[in-house]
Amino acid sequence: MVFSWLDISIPFLTHSVPAAPPLVPISVNWFPSRVCNYQCHFCFHTNTNDFVLPLEEAKRGLRLLADAGMKKLNISGGEPFLQPRYIGEVFKYCKEELAIEACSVVSNSSKVTEKWLDTYGQYLDVMAISCDSFDPETNIKQGRAEHATSATHIGTVFKVAQWVKDRGIKVKINSVITINNWEEDMNDQIEELAPFRWKVFQVLLLDAENTGAATGSLRDARHLTITREQFQAFLDRHASQTCLVPEDNESMKDSYLNLDEEMRFLNCQDGRKQPGRSLLKVGVQASLLDSGFDEKAFLNRGGIFDWKREAPESLEW
C-alpha cells in the first residue's frame, strides 16, 4: 500500500491547534517560613504555621525550578534571617550548583549579621530592606517593630544597608504605604540610603491574612487602606527619586509567582492566597497551572530588571 502526503497528513491537520507554550518561571518569590519577629498590622504573609521544608527537599524543588527556567530566586517571609544557615545554604546551592543568575532576599533587617554576610553574602545579589517610615512612632503604629514595641528599626536599616553595600550587594528598600505614612516626606532619608530600587507598595488586603478574624486572618489592615489618590500623592511627593518603582494594588495582583513553605504556588485571583499542588509532588508545569500567574502583568510591572550584583572588582571586602 502506498501512502500519499495527504493520507498521512490528515490526522495532523485535524489536530492543528497549537499547544500553549509552557510557562517559564523566570522569577520566583519563595516564602520558606512564615515565622517573623515583627508584628506589622498589614502583613500579608502571616505566621499561620511554623513549617520549614527540610533543606535537601528544598534543594530538590529549586533544581526542578532551575530546570524549568528560573533565573532569579527571591526569598521572602516571615523573616528569612530567623533561619540564617538555611537561607545561606539555599543561596549557595542556587549559585554554585544551579547557576541561578540572581538571588535576593527581603528582610526587616533586625537579624542580619556581618558574620552571615561574610559567609554567604557572596551568593546574594540584592537585599531588600523593609522600611515604611523614618519616624519611630509611625513604625510602632504600623507594628513595623520587633515584638511591636522596639524603636530600633530605623537605625538598623541604615546600619545593615551600609554593611550590604560594603560587600557589593545591591540595596533595595521596600515601603508599604498606609493611612499612617502616606503624608510623610521620605526624600532626604531615601537619598541618604541611595538604594538601586525603592519599591513603594500600596497596602494590600488579602483574606485569611490581614482582613480580620471573620476571614480567619491573624492581622487586620482594613483601617490602614488608602485611596488611589492618596497613594498617588505620596508618589508625586517623591517624584524626584529615580529609583522609585510604584506598585499599586492593581499592578501587584497576579504579577508574582509566589511559592509557599510547601512549594505550592499561591493563587491570589479571588482576593486570598489559595495554595495549589506542590511542585515537589506534581512537577513545575502542573503546579504552575494552579498559580493564576499573569505573565503580562509581571512584565508590565518591570519584573525583569538588572538584578545581578555589582561587578566582581567591587568585591574586595
By the 10 Å C-beta count (0-12 exposed, 13-18 middle, 19+ buried), 261 is classed as buried
Among 27, 79, 83, 182, binds ligand SF4 (CB under 6 A): 79
Site residues (CB under 6 A) for ligand SF4, limited to 92-151: 108, 130
Per-residue x/- track, 29-48, ligand SF4 (CB under 6 A) = -------x-xxx--x-x---
Alpha helices in 106-151 (DSSP H): 114-120, 136-142
What's the CA gap between 188 and 176, in Å, rounded?
18
Min CB(144)–ligand SF4 separation in Å:
6
Please indicate whether residue 36 is annotated as part of the active site: yes
Min CB(79)–ligand SF4 separation in Å:
5
Q: Which stretch binds ligand SF4 (CB under 6 A): 74-82, 154-162, 284-292, 308-316?
A: 74-82
71 is written with which cell numbers? 533565573
Min CB(295)–ligand SF4 separation in Å:
26
Catalytic residue among 36, 94, 103, 268: 36
By the 10 Å C-beta count (0-12 exposed, 13-18 middle, 19+ buried), 110 is classed as buried
Instruction: Count the residues of the shown chain that bind ligand SF4, applying the rule CB under 6 A.
Output: 11
Core vs surface per residue 290-316: b (16+ CB within 10 A) or e: bbbbeeebbeebebeeebebeeeeeee
Is 244 one of the binding residues for ligand SF4 (CB under 6 A)?
Answer: no
Q: Which stretch binds ligand SF4 (CB under 6 A): 7-15, 71-79, 251-259, 308-316?
A: 71-79
Taken in order 172, 201, 266, 291, the sign of the CA dihedral is negative
Please indicate whether residue 43 is annotated as part of the active site: yes
Binding site for ligand SF4 (CB under 6 A): 36, 38-40, 43, 45, 77-79, 108, 130
Active-site residues, by number, are: 36, 40, 43
